[in-house]
Homo-oligomer: A and B are copies of this chain.
């Protein structure tokens, strides 16, 4: 058996029906691969859902930035390589390289996660885990180049679209799944946007959780040419009063 390294690499082909209309891997498909790679790496290294669920703990994605110089085209091969970058109190950063078969990078992703206690919904201090937790797997040398740390603030008060969370939107935890927000955000832009100026950079921050049947308003605002901030706000539920609640916000930078 191969010795377990700090990083894990998962190899794929862009299968037909996972590309967008321009013929490259769709962002939401890449997003699913990235989160699946995180899960599989954590499971194989002893700190995944497999080990944590029985302890009533779960990983929650807090932020994700994906920077792509190029996207693999349909039928092309690519790999997702992932490793832990660091651990700081209640957060840990995990990196990803999206690689060509010759190991040059299509792009990178950078994610921030919290481990929560499912009963209290409170974050666990990752520096105090038994036996040093998963600190031994940290690799702080591998390259992960993303453009990050924008301050996203949408002032727009007229939603571009209001959607309802349906069956296809919800994940195994019965929340709207993290990638599905990205899909709905991509759908705010017209077809011609993607022809000449594909998306190059996406930064998303998750603030809250929506459930089946929730009403989600999407707001978008142009920050500078080719740069858009998008916010998803949940409208008050039937039994609630009050204001919309911010669920996630995203900066999308087109080429």
Q: Which residues of A contact B (CB under 8 A)?
A: 15-23, 26, 28, 32-33, 35-36, 39-40, 74, 166-174, 177, 179, 183, 186-187, 189-191, 194, 212-213
Asked if B16 and A35 make an inter-chain contact with CB atoms under 8 angstroms apart, the answer reads yes
Q: B16, B22, B33, B174: which contacts A39 (Cβ < 8 A)? A: B16
Complex Cα spacing A220 to B51, Å: 43
> Within 8 Å CB of A17, what residues of B?
32, 35-36, 171, 177, 179
Asked if B74 and A172 make an inter-chain contact with CB atoms under 8 angstroms apart, the answer reads yes
A170 to chain B, nearest CB (A): 5
> Within 8 Å CB of A21, what residues of B?
167, 170-174, 212
Asked if A166 and B179 make an inter-chain contact with CB atoms under 8 angstroms apart, the answer reads no
> Within 8 Å CB of A191, what residues of B?
167, 170, 174, 212-213
List 8 A-B residue pairs with CB atoms under 8 Å apart, sorted by A's residue number: A16-B39, A17-B35, A17-B179, A19-B172, A21-B167, A74-B172, A167-B186, A168-B187
A19 (CB) vs chain B CBs: closest residue: B172
> Within 8 Å CB of A23, what residues of B?
172
Complex Cα spacing A28 to B21, Å: 18
Complex Cα spacing A194 to B22, Å: 34
A177 (CB) vs chain B CBs: closest residue: B17
> Within 8 Å CB of A74, what residues of B?
172
Asked if A26 and B187 make an inter-chain contact with CB atoms under 8 angstroms apart, the answer reads no
Asked if A36 and B20 make an inter-chain contact with CB atoms under 8 angstroms apart, the answer reads no
> Within 8 Å CB of A186, what residues of B?
167-168
Given A20-B167, A168-B187, 8 new contacts (CB under 8 A)? A17-B36, A21-B170, A21-B171, A21-B173, A23-B172, A28-B168, A166-B187, A167-B194
> Within 8 Å CB of A183, what residues of B?
168
Complex Cα spacing A74 to B172, Å: 10
